Structure 1
């Protein structure tokens, strides 16, 4: 991998990650941009004990542009975009409309490929491995920034999820606090360790593998499964078999196998609704867009005292529960954070096994 760092016209950092060591990245951003002005602010909710990012400047962010005006495509044919080069492998840059900025953290955009019409599932094993290297490198760099407490790499895909740019991309948030979800995991982990002396992550993974009914894929170094208490209609957790706290701690064998496992899971997500509700012609057999999803890396907080006890894992889920129907967060979920799942996890796992790629 070759890493090349440059600056956009408004001063934001941009980084090229190339598979070829001889790649030359000398294109200059020629857009007449003013320096980015943000109004990001973190406010603490004293009653719930969590934090809210107030970012009014995001009201003006780019919203569903036509494909020929996509800001994440390369700059070519006289059109200038966020990426000055005429082509690229993987690119990371500071978000022009960040939810977190300055003392309140940092937000970055990760462009997985220059192909506007592709998806992560379309990547080769080698290209997906390059994205993993980019995630790992940014985790290392962002973890060193003053005030950063947690690094979160994730992808939102699909208009149903709320994605406003169709180009295949993800984001990285560097939070100035430990997120509520992670803190809850840490608290539960600590309570279990005090009560039993064991590691709850290790036990849950061992129990899922022993049960077997919810296992999707079981490789040499990774296991993918639908969790026993899945919140979402189709939800898969992907764990390395050797517990590590973050992406930096993965060994070479786990890095090599990850693209094979993850890409297969993503491709199954794009097939789970095929043949249900219509003929061929789209991910659902109805000409609809491929399965919308959120893919979220869970890493240990940077400065947590017990971070070695945390287990790096990826959680992938879709809000689609059946062809043409979405799982909306209604009163119980939104108002009380009590999820109601219409799809039994065992049935979801069986469906995800049914749609395995042909060997």
Structure 2
């Protein structure tokens, strides 16, 4: 299937949402807002950073002198585990609320303040994956939904440059997971097959949207991508949640993350911002055979390190719209070097 270089729509089979693709718009002149180009070289330690080893955080708490990863309960978490409040349902029926219980944790990827994920060694990235898994295993015993994610860069709302991610776990099934679960289950029922398994086979045959592939993982710009350089990282094996990853799959994942995030940084020779998150099968499912562990990467940059895609107007009020095709974005990422651009500085 060749790239459709004319205005058309593509459907996301995971959500049912459509995206309007308008390739000709990428040639339009740009005089709108630009972002600051983050070229500042950060120190390996910042005495004012609340995430650096030994430094003080909120509530007079101090970090240990950690050597690899470090996890703590978020000092300003959006969820709390001891929420014993009750919601009195209002009338009419369209007014609804429910109590939310859960836990929010912060994961520092490294004691080095200056190194983002692609700048860590493979062994350091594997340590991050081990930390993701151990925390997932603990929290999934208590909560139905466990979200492991990272917001990278100030333009993605990241309040601290120190390399870190988060885990939010809660009783309820989040909206994104609920929608994906419904569509994955419907596909399994109608096709008697796993949607992700079929999609991996399709992309391996097409090849034009594959960014990186190894024995256990496939990184691809999905056919239905909404963000300019959006990617999907999918487990090739029948792995349904993060707790099922074995040692070989985790090592292979470390390599895939290193390759993908390095290519991201090399597109515009900058610390490429994104929101990334893992989707695992909810713990409450009696049958999760329709699931496959995967991560979504949503980077906002469009034309350069300082021009980002704004999801406004039509995107907010109608449906997503993108200017370059998924195939064009994939080609740019394919051509990006696997050696980080800072190596040559």
TM-score scaled to structure 2, two decimals?
0.76
Unaligned runs of 5+ in 2: 1-44, 84-100, 341-345
Structure 2 residue aligned with 1:111: 108
1:143 aligns with 2:140: yes
Cα deviation, residue 273, structure 1: 1.7
> Could you list the runs of 4 or more consecutive aligned residues of structure 1 that deviate by over 4 angstroms after TM superposition?
none
CA–CA distance in 2 between the matches of 1:99 and 1:188? 28
Q: CA deviation at 1:343?
A: 1.9
Cα distance, 1:306 vs. partner?
2.7
Q: CA deviation at 1:150?
A: 0.4
1:1-359 pair list within 5 angstroms: 67-75=46-54, 80-81=56-57, 83-102=62-81, 103=83, 104-145=101-142, 148-274=143-269, 283=270, 290-323=271-304, 324-336=306-318, 338-357=319-338
- Separation in structure 2 between the aligned mates of residue 246 and residue 238 of structure 1, nearest angstrom: 13
**1:234 touches 1:343 (CA, 8 Å); kept in 2?**
no
Distance 1:126 1:141 in 2: 23
Report the Cα offset of residue 317 of structure 1.
2.2
State the Cα distance separating 1:99 from its structure 2 match: 0.7
Following TM superposition, by how much is the alpha carbon of 1:331 offset from its aligned partner in structure 2, in angstroms? 2.5
CA RMSD of aligned residues (A): 1.7
TM-aligned CA distance change 1:358 to 1:88, over 3 Å: closer
The alignment's TM-score, normalised by the length of structure 1, stands at: 0.73
Note the C-alpha offset of 1:332.
Answer: 2.9
Q: Which whole-Å CA distance do the structure 2 matches of 1:86 and 1:184 have between them? A: 42
Aligned-partner SS, 1:291: coil
Q: Shift of residue 67 of structure 1?
A: 4.2
1:85-141 CA distance string (max 9 Å, x none): 234210111000001112411100000011111111111111111111111010111
Contact persistence 2:277–2:296 (CA under 8 A) = yes
2:188 and 2:290 in contact (8 A); partners too: no
Post-superposition shift, 1:314?
1.2
Contact 2:263 2:333 in 1 (8 A): yes
Q: Distance in 2 between matches of 1:213 and 1:129?
A: 29
Instruction: Tell me the distance in 2 between the aligned counterparts of 1:218 and 1:83.
Output: 41
Partner deviation per Cα, 1:231-273 (whole Å, 9 max, x = no partner) = 1100111112112111111222211211111111001100112
Separation in 2, partners of 1:291, 1:264: 13
Looking at structure 2, the residues matched to 209 and 87 of structure 1 have their Cα atoms a distance apart, in angstroms, of 41
**In 1, distance between residues paired with 2:316 and 2:80?**
27
Determine the C-alpha separation between the residues in 2 that align with 1:206 and 1:356: 26
> Comparing 243-252 with 171-180, which one deviates more in the overlay?
243-252
Partner residue, 1:25: none
Alpha carbons 1:100, 1:107 under 8 Å: kept: yes
